[in-house]
Amino acid sequence: MPTLPLGLVCVATATEKVGHDVRVVDLLNQPDVRMVIREALEEFRPDVIGISLRNIDDQCMKNTKFLLDQEKGVVADCRDFSNAQVVVGGAGYSICPEASLAYVGADMGIQGEGEKAFPALIARIQERAGLEGIPGLYLPGRGLQSPRVFTQDLDGIPLPDHHLWRSCNLNFPEFWIPFPIKRGCPMNCSYCSTPAIEGNAIRRRSPGAIVEGIARHVEAGFRHFYFTDNIFNIPSSYAREICRSLIAQRLGISWMCIIYPEQIEEDLVKDMASAGCSEVSLGFESGSERILRIMNKRYKPDDVRKTSQLLVDYGIRQTGFLLLGGPGETRESVEESLVFADSLPLDTLKVTVGVRIYPNTALAKRAVDEDMITADDNLLLPKFYLVGGLEDWLYETVSTWMAKRPHWVM
Ligand code: B12
């Protein structure tokens, strides 16, 4: 799925709302990035440039694509055509804030959500005042300047403004507009980077505000949405409220989301379908109860099976995910997962081999204990956990299974 720069548009919307002139430049799929940057900077002449570092890498163990060299190039291009301060932020940035700031050579970085911090920073730059107290601000070589703040009242920060999507590369036939609902994930999966990006306490917007934001997009002609929450269905009472508000408004939209296969009741799946949910990502990751426990998952294979069947019953398409080769994995548990995935009514299955190690996770600690990485590795350059001796066998085995299953991808 081609992605739009949602985080950047959220920050741009908030910056525009406090009265600044803003220009969004989407560098994805641009044949000549330097030229696009040059034209934008010479025409707009910004005082501050914000760059979203969404991805550090593609998270694939084989032929890993490390993406920060492109982003370093973008910072250098900005410096060639402008004297503005260059500030970086974004999901990828927030995972390794100090190391990625040093790597790309920007003037500053903001870890975590930027809707309040970025306009606050601009105000200080404008007033030529000190930078103390800006939440989540990093300076090169000087580290974190002030603790980050997780906004509790999400309704107090604006939803992305649809007019800014017009400056993005929307020339795909059926575009799924990314749309955020809540923030934070309390699940604490052993390998996940989300706590570093949005914290582990759930923060919600009111369903009314969500539906209003979507309705504004619908008026502007958008009909397909990707709800970007890590987990749409938790808490399920809130997910149902969102669905019921969407049903009541009859917006005629279709949407996708990511779900966690724990205690999904039939009523929720039914409401999701009635509200326009056409497809979900079902990230069950393993079919082995033992491996699920090691990953700190709260569900069992039976919960996954029940969820998968409910989705079929209500006509919602599903993409399953397997994450193989992590701690405790054996040939037997891999085979158990493949047999399990094969027995589910999935439309697509995505198989990942090797687990990207992110800082401050249980997986990183284990990798240090097992001498896979050193304790001082900042993990900006991608490192993967893969149980010793499994690698060749895993790729071969998954490839063999895939050969007869065209709906599986690795
Ligand atoms: C939804 C999602 C997807 C969806 C995207 C759907 C869509 N249409 O957008 C799908 C499933 C398609 C997807 C694909 C991929 N994803 Co993804 N995705 C996410 C997820 C769960 C949410 C991202 C999101 O939109 N959040 C909502 C927005 C509002 O938040 P935000 O982007 O973080 O922006 C906020 C702040 O970061 C900050 N900010 C952002 N930009 C800026 C700029 C400045 C200047 C400032 C100050 C602040 C700032 O303020 C924003 C507003 O609060 C994140 C995990 C996470 N919790 O973040 C992973 C995540 C971003 N994805 C990740 C990856 C790796 C990928 C893929 C490469 C996977 C793959 N191998 O295919 C692809 C790449 C796609 C692409 N072309 O970029 C990784 C990136 C880490 C890394 N190693 O680089 C993440 C972090 C998940 C993880 N495993 O850790 N993804």
Q: What is the pLDDT of residue 16?
A: 97
The three-class DSSP label of residue 344 is: coil
Distance CA 69, CA 103 (A): 8
Q: Please state the domain extents for the chain.
A: 6-144, 176-409
CATH of domain 176-409: 3.20.20.70
Which atom of ligand 1 sits closest to the CA of residue 157?
Answer: 53
Q: Please, what's the b/e burial string for 150-175 (b: 16 or more CB within 10 A of its CB; e: otherwise)?
A: bbeebeebebbbbebbebbeeeeeeb
Which atom of ligand 1 sits closest to the CA of residue 356?
Answer: 83
Around 26, how many Cα atoms within 13 Å sit in the side-chain half-sphere?
17
Q: What is the pLDDT of residue 167?
A: 85
The three-class DSSP label of residue 105 is: coil
Q: Tokens 């741009």 label which residue?
A: 12
Most informative mutation of 6, 159, 203 for ligand 1 (most atoms within 8 A of CB): 6
Distance 152 CA to ligand 1 centre (A): 21
Distance CA 248, CA 245 (A): 5
Which atom of ligand 1 sits closest to the CA of residue 54?
Answer: 61
The three-class DSSP label of residue 180 is: coil
229: Cβ–Cβ under 8 A, 6 or more apart, which residues?
Answer: 180, 181, 182, 183, 257, 258
Ligand 1, atom 75, residue with closest C-alpha: 3
Which atom of ligand 1 sits closest to the CA of residue 228?
Answer: 1
Q: What is the pLDDT of residue 173?
A: 56
For 12-62, write each residue's pLDDT tens digit: 999 999 999 999 999 988 999 999 999 999 999 999 999 999 999 999 999
Q: What is the pLDDT of residue 171?
A: 67
Q: Two tokens at 312? A: 């079929």
Q: Which CATH architecture has domain 6-144?
A: 3-Layer(aba) Sandwich (3.40)
Distance CA 157, CA 17 (A): 10
Most informative mutation of 4, 51, 59, 104 for ligand 1 (most atoms within 8 A of CB): 59
Q: E strands, 1-96, where? A: 48-52, 85-89
Which ranges of the chain have pLDDT less than 50? none
Distance CA 44, CA 33 (A): 16
Pocket around ligand 1 at a 6 A CB cut-off = 1, 3, 6-8, 10-11, 50-52, 54-60, 87-92, 94-95, 110, 113-115, 118, 176, 178, 180, 193-194, 197-198, 226, 228, 230, 356
Q: What is the pLDDT of residue 172?
A: 60
